[in-house]
Structure 1
Amino acid sequence: MKLFTSLVVFICLSVQTIYGQSINAYTTAQAHSHNDYERKRALMDAYEQQFGSVEADIFLVNDSLFVAHNLKDIKPERTFHALYLGPILELVQKNDGNIYAQKDAPLQLLIDLKTSGEETLAALIRELEPHRKVLAPTGTIKIVVSGNVPDPALFEKYPAYIYFDGRPEVSYTPAQLAHIGLISQAFQKYSGWNGEGPLPEKERKNIQKMITQTHNLGKKVRIWATPDNINSWKTMMALGVDYLNTDKVREMGDYLRTAPR
Structure 2
Amino acid sequence: MNGATIAGGLTGLAAVAGAVSARTILLRRPGPYQPSGHALPGPKAADPLPEVLRRGLGGLTVPVTPGPHGELFIGPGGPQPGRTLRRLVLTPLFARAKSRGGRLAREQQTPFRLVVEFTGANREAETLLRAYAMLDQQLRDHAALLSHCDGDTLVPGAVTVSVCGIVDVRELLATQRTRYAFADGTFDDLGSQSAPPTLVPVISEPWTRRFGWDGREPIPAEERHLLHAIVRQAHDDGRIVRIAGLPAGSGRARRAIWTELGAAGVDVIADRDQRGLVRHLRRHPVSRVPAATLPTRAVRRTSPRPHAPRPDRRTESV
TM range (shorter): 0.7 to 0.9
Asked if 1:48 corresponds to 2:50, the answer is no
Counterparts in 2 of 1:1-261, with a 5 A limit? 28-35=34-41, 38-39=44-45, 42-62=48-68, 63-68=70-75, 72-102=77-107, 104-114=109-119, 115=123, 116=125, 117-136=128-147, 137-150=155-168, 152-158=170-176, 159-170=178-189, 172-173=192-193, 176-227=196-247, 229-258=254-283
Cα separation, 2, equivalents of 1:260 and 1:66: 34
Deviation at 1:204, TM superposition (A): 2.2
Deviation at 1:190, TM superposition (A): 1.4
Partner secondary structure for residue 59 of structure 1:
strand
Deviation at 1:37, TM superposition (A): 7.7
Cα separation, 2, equivalents of 1:227 and 1:255: 17
| Larger Rg over CA atoms | 2
Cα separation, 2, equivalents of 1:167 and 1:202: 20
Contact 1:34/1:246, CA 8 A, preserved across alignment: yes
Cα separation, 1, equivalents of 2:162 and 2:238: 16
Cα separation, 1, equivalents of 2:93 and 2:285: 32
Cα separation, 1, equivalents of 2:162 and 2:280: 26
Cα separation, 1, equivalents of 2:169 and 2:78: 28
Contact 1:36/1:55, CA 8 A, preserved across alignment: no
Give the number of the structure with larger relative contact order, counting CA–CA contacts within 8 Å between residues 6 or more apart: 1
Cα separation, 1, equivalents of 2:167 and 2:139: 17
Q: How big is each residue's C-alpha offset from its partner over 1:152-178, in whole Å with a ceiling of 9 and x where there is no partner?
A: 444322333211111121353267431
Q: How high is the TM-score relative to the length of structure 1? A: 0.79
Cα separation, 2, equivalents of 1:211 and 1:260: 16
Cα separation, 1, equivalents of 2:211 and 2:229: 13
Q: Which runs of 5+ in 2 are unaligned?
A: 1-32, 148-154, 249-253, 287-318
Cα separation, 1, equivalents of 2:134 and 2:173: 16
Distance change >3 Å, CA 246–CA 175, structure 1 → 2: closer
Deviation at 1:91, TM superposition (A): 0.5
Q: How high is the TM-score relative to the length of structure 2? A: 0.66
Partner secondary structure for residue 241 of structure 1:
coil
Contact 1:190/1:206, CA 8 A, preserved across alignment: no
Cα separation, 2, equivalents of 1:97 and 1:240: 27
Q: How many residues align?
A: 233
Deviation at 1:35, TM superposition (A): 3.0
**AA partner of residue 218 (structure 1):** G
Deviation at 1:66, TM superposition (A): 0.4
Contact 2:145/2:158, CA 8 A, preserved across alignment: yes
Q: Which runs of 5+ in 1 are unaligned?
A: 1-26
Contact 1:152/1:172, CA 8 A, preserved across alignment: no
